[in-house]
Amino acid sequence: MSKPKVFIAMKGVPEVAINLLRKRFEVEICESIQSTKEEMLKKIPGFFGIFCCPSIMINEEVMKAAGPSLKVIGTMSVGYDHVNLPVMKTNGIRLGYTPDVLTETVAETTVGLLISTTRRFFEANHAVKTGGWKNWTPTWMCGKGIKNSVVGIIGCGNIGTSIAKKLVTFEISQLLYTSRSEKPAVKALGGKLVTVDELVEKSDFIILAIALNEDTKFIINGERLAKMKSHAILVNIGRGGLIDQDELIKALQEKRIGGAGLDVMTPEPLPLDNPLMKMDNVVLLPHIGSASIETRIEMALITANNIIAVLDNKPMPNEVHC
């Protein structure tokens, strides 16, 4: 009897996870670095599972193209805003994701992004490599330090809490956070639960660590950007859609805020002619929050095991229940 089929919609998935899937499935991997919509629509009719990541839209068209054989989507990510949940649910398709395993790695990236933005590491590095470094000059390449500052974290789930734990060791003056309810672990660090508006007004550093959904889309809009301190640094490691990017560009161009460190943006990859590309006070990373080798291997294995669990009609190691 032929094995059920799984389509891996991107290249570069660690071999160990592909081999695990091959024991139970016929595995097909997309042709280019990432499957185009056209390729997916052509390939997936009759497939049991899709192995994907946040840049691959799993919408109604894709799920309908796969047809009734499609039983599982495994996304190699903690975020799943790229999957149409109502259509998935209506069609009895299950969704696996990879929370927890990436928490520390994403928190590490966030701290690195925050420091490199406020302390101008990339600008300074560029100057060194292009002959802009003339001397040790007292105020050249200075940025705002983290010590004694107010740090605000929007969304204090596991990742936000881990960021908070790391940043309190920098001797900050106050930790503010937003969440649906008070978080004892963040309270124990001295964190104060506030509204988004209070947080943006009072923070020197504002970190977005919240999932993207209908309620959080453009949580940072023009109005909230206008409330920020003129030296505030905005860091986003959630999703590009959390920020009204056109408004952010205006605020940066008009020097109404200090800078931005973005691991996520709209669209991804960001076109080379986007104004953000030319700004010295903006650090852009290519969505590498969880990109440590160990974490990515674990994420791939969990994704494979999530898919296998559905074949075995068992609970997934990590399932999105919606």
Among 21, 102, 251, 307, binds ligand DGY (CB under 6 A): 102
**Candidate list 35, 77, 84, 179; residue touching ligand DGY; CB under 6 A:** 77
Smallest distance from ligand DGY to CB 187, Å: 26
CB of 155 closer than 8 Å to CB of 211? yes
Closest separation in Å from C-beta 238 to ligand DGY: 8
Residue 74 burial (10 A CB sphere; 0-12, 13-18, 19+): buried
Contact between 155 and 178 under an 8 Å Cβ cutoff? The reply is yes
Least separation, in Å, of the C-beta of 290 and ligand DGY? 4
Kindly state the number of chain residues that form the binding site for ligand DGY, as judged by CB under 6 A.
Answer: 7
Q: Pattern of binders to ligand DGY over 113-152, x per CB under 6 A?
A: ----------------------------------------
Quick one: three-class SS letters along the chain?
A: CCCCEEEECECCCCHHHHHHHHCCCEEEECCCCECCHHHHHHHCCCCCEEEECCCCCECHHHHHHHCCCCCEEEECCCCCCCECHHHHHHCCCEEECCCCCCHHHHHHHHHHHHHHHHCCHHHHHHHHHCCCCCCCCCCCCCCCCCCCCEEEEECCCHHHHHHHHHHHCCCCCEEEEECCCCCHHHHCCCCEECCHHHHHHHCCEEEECCCCCCCCCCCECHHHHHHCCCCCEEEECCCHHHECHHHHHHHHHCCCCCEEEECCCCCCCCCCCCHHHHCCCEEECCCCCCCCHHHHHHHHHHHHHHHHHHHCCCCCCCEECC
Q: 145 to each of 117, 149, 151, how far by Cα in Å? A: 11, 8, 12
CA distances from 71 to 34, 57, 96, 99 (A): 21, 17, 11, 21
Q: Which stretch binds ligand DGY (CB under 6 A): 39-47, 59-67, 77-85, 178-186?
A: 77-85
Note whether 155 binds ligand DGY by CB under 6 A.
Answer: no
Nearer to ligand DGY by Cβ, of 149 and 161: the residue is 161
Least distance CB 142 / ligand DGY (angstroms) = 32
CB of 77 to ligand DGY, least distance (A): 3
Comparing CB distances to ligand DGY, the nearer of 240 and 275 is 240
Q: Is 159 an interacting residue with respect to ligand DGY (CB under 6 A)?
A: no
Nearest distance from C-beta of residue 139 to ligand DGY, angstroms: 36
Q: Does 261 bind ligand DGY (CB under 6 A)?
A: no
**Active centre residues (catalytic):** 287
Stretch that binds ligand DGY, among 71-79, 137-145, 151-159, 270-278 (CB under 6 A): 71-79
Q: Is 49 in the site for ligand DGY (CB under 6 A)?
A: no
Taking contact as CB under 6 A, which single stretch among the options 40-48, 76-84, 218-226, 253-261 is the one that binds ligand DGY? 76-84
Say whether residue 216 binds ligand DGY (CB under 6 A).
Answer: no
Contact map string, positions 284 to 303, toward ligand DGY, x by CB under 6 A: -----xx-------------
Nearer to ligand DGY, 17 or 175 (CB): 17
Least distance to ligand DGY, CB of residue 52, Å = 11
Query: Should residue 96 be labelled a site residue for ligand DGY when binding is judged by CB under 6 A?
Result: no
Residues at the contact surface with ligand DGY, assessed by CB under 6 A? 54, 77-79, 102, 289-290
